Structure 1
């Protein structure tokens, strides 16, 4: 897993839209007074601080594989402890009462194994809650794949195709069927995105995450040309309205109690 998939500043442009699924996920976690809470893939830490506010008596820890994100998280005036770690290798030194993972596991091909390890790491009655984007087939991602495979870019980016990075909600329901309870659901948000004049809001959105592995492979002049071509495709796929640009975004949620 790349250490710097996320750009903290670009990712934060639509912080409200990106944080809403976190709160809707957390609302289904019925832990009353946990002792140890972990945010796996905590990003820049603001949402980890929400865990500390919800459970003020708990030890709250956040970790992320991106040093840039952890640097930003440590600058917060917040109670959680933040460390650099990878979800594929992280293992707690004691049982965890709540593990939360917000929009991270889609980057981990072996995330089903990770989920099973996390269940093992929970204390009896502990909770696992995660959400992942389920928009791999959305026009935004289809446009990225098509541009990468076009004659102008195929020599540099033609091998870019992550396949389907996550499964449907029912797959995770089956995976966690041995838990005492499992709640799995899907939601399609229709975000209304704004952007400064002359910028494409959908391009701004994907630049913080989905485009990072691609842009890292290009020279600055190439990246500028690639994003300009992609913006044209986005303008066609997501036409702007007077009130903003509607951007449907599907997400998959799972909450399980051990």
Structure 2
């Protein structure tokens, strides 16, 4: 039996209300925003070439991936999403009716957890984010080292705070290497399997106030996508990114398994 139940959680254009910085008054307004052709084209590019690509490349593949989207997601996006997910072992697309984000996530995640099983590791990954190939393995290793702390508190956060901001362009990737704490990507949350809340119920930027948290600054462990469609507001910092130099391109290929020629061809 595995020592952990590990779930990667990705929300892909899910039109539930709440948990976004850009809010809408109605589900219909949110669907119109999320499912516009220009936005979906951009988000499918990052989902395929960054998010799912880095998950498929994990050295430790003993985890499951849940991709949450709306039950009314139209074609051709619906079939394309199912097709992409089919290429990732352990991935499941869940078409869920619009609901509050936390309620929807609880409805989707809780039935997929064994309450009598080992501790649960959650990590969230937006559709334009990615993690290094050793992310899952490193989290499992560090959790083992921190197990006495988890046994006492029954909740624990591991945050890798060194990574890369990434913008995909027809001319190649633009990047910025930096330290950022508790931004969501590159962060793992460990909870008891009988906890009624999931890892998505805890605001990623408040982890140090909610549970014992360990920051790991030793290696580039995440890529955070940036473009004009970002909800987080980071698009205002696109000017900081520079064209990736040869060493950085090699790093993106080796550490994150990104296929740069395929990305260029997708434009």
TM-score by length of 1: 0.33
| Structure with max Cα Rg | 1
TM-score by length of 2: 0.32
